[in-house]
């Protein structure tokens, strides 16, 4: 065989078997178009270069799995629809529910979740719920929010980001405000006594209090509504086409996340 023909065939085989070739273009990861420090935030004009703890975990895992990725930011519900339509291939960070598990493909190993997050109830100092007996009454085992008892005090309702599982929980228990509030709007509404409280990830809530200098007005009630695992699910059809490498990517998440979390927070000590 001619040596040049042999080399060309060898090169073709290598290309066909390489992860980048198998994937073709980069897999597009969609994230919400809000700044949720410390998890994900982007204060630049370039949606493809976000920052934050989740970004560090994802980039590290993708690098180890030889998975080429790029980021886009969109409203959360639009992210979900884009992945369903395969206009984007994955989204983060997403809680797993039975309904969502039919629309997206999640890892089956809980260790491959990005992390576990507690959704806390943030309330106004001297506000409706800022009373020792009231807080005791609406707290159940494990410092969980008892929504049935909360309804005895309900005035303006509670809120959480639209499209979030915790928002659905509030709605199903007739505890959701009649108005939709983004995180920024919700915290300001709580501070101005236009909302009984706001439910969001504790770390995001603490960060928002610092950002707006609201420590004299808002605090975490020491109550959580839910504790959930965050995942990166993929489009169902896309997963079937690239199952081996996606599984490797999820596996690498379980390998790198603890180190990335430790390293991220060590920078603030």
Name the residue ranges covered by the structural domains of the chain. 20-112+231-266, 116-229
Q: Tens digits of per-residue pLDDT, 9-27?
A: 444 433 334 444 344 579 9
At residue 2 the predicted structure's pLDDT band, cuts being 50, 70 and 90, is low
Mean local confidence (pLDDT), 73-100: 97
pLDDT at 176 over 80: yes
pLDDT the model gives residue 83: 98
HSE, CB side, 13 Å, CA atoms: give it for residue 7: 3
pLDDT at 141 over 90: yes
How many percent of the chain have pLDDT more than 90? 86
pLDDT the model gives residue 12: 40
Mean local confidence (pLDDT), 198-206: 97
pLDDT the model gives residue 3: 55
Fold category of 20-112+231-266 in CATH:
D-Maltodextrin-Binding Protein; domain 2 (3.40.190)
- Across the chain, mean pLDDT equals 91
Domains 20-112+231-266 and 116-229 alike in fold: yes
Q: Which of 1-15, 198-212, 241-255 has the lowest mean pLDDT?
A: 1-15
pLDDT at 267 over 50: yes
Partnered with residue 119 across adjacent β-strands are 201, 226
For residue 182, count other CB atoms closer than 10 A to its CB: 13
At residue 269 the predicted structure's pLDDT band, cuts being 50, 70 and 90, is low
At residue 268 the predicted structure's pLDDT band, cuts being 50, 70 and 90, is low
Region at 126 (left for phi over 0; alpha for psi -120 to 50; beta for the rest): left
pLDDT the model gives residue 18: 43
What CA–CA distances, in Å, run from 177 to 33, 84, 151, 180, 186? 23, 29, 12, 7, 10
pLDDT the model gives residue 22: 47
CB 216 within 8 A of CB 237: no
pLDDT at 4 over 80: no
At residue 48 the predicted structure's pLDDT band, cuts being 50, 70 and 90, is confident
Pick the CATH number of 116-229 from 3.90.700.10, 3.30.70.2860, 3.40.50.10470, 3.40.190.10: 3.40.190.10
261, 262, 265, 267 alpha-carbon torsion, rounded to 10°: -120
How many percent of the chain have pLDDT more than 70? 90
pLDDT at 7 over 50: no
């Amino acid at each position: 065989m001619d040596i040049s023909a042999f080399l060309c065939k060898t090169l073709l085989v290598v290309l066909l078997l390489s992860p980048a070739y198998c994937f073709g273009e980069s897999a597009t990861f969609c994230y919400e178009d809000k700044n949720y420090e410390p998890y994900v935030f982007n204060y630049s004009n370039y949606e493809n270069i976000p920052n934050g703890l989740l970004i560090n975990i994802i980039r590290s895992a993708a690098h180890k799995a030889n998975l080429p990725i790029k980021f886009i930011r969109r409203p959360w519900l639009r992210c979900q629809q884009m992945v369903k339509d395969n206009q984007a291939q994955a989204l983060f960070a997403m809680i797993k529910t039975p309904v969502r598990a039919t629309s997206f493909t999640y890892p089956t190993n809980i260790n491959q979740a990005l992390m576990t997050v507690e959704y806390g109830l943030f309330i106004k100092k001297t506000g409706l719920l800022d009373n020792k007996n009231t807080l005791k009454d609406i707290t159940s085992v494990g410092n969980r929010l008892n929504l049935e008892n909360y309804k005895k005090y309900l005035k303006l309702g509670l809120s959480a980001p639209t499209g979030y599982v915790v928002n659905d929980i509030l709605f199903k228990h007739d505890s959701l405000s009649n108005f939709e509030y983004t995180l920024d709007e919700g915290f300001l509404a709580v501070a101005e006594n236009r909302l009984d409280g706001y439910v969001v990830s504790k770390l995001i809530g603490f960060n928002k209090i610092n950002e707006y200098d609201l420590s004299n007005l808002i605090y975490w009630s020491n109550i959580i509504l839910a504790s959930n695992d965050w995942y990166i699910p993929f489009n169902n059809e896309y997963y079937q086409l690239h199952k081996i490498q996606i599984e490797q990517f999820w596996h690498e998440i379980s390998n790198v996340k603890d180190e990335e979390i430790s390293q991220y927070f060590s920078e603030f000590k």
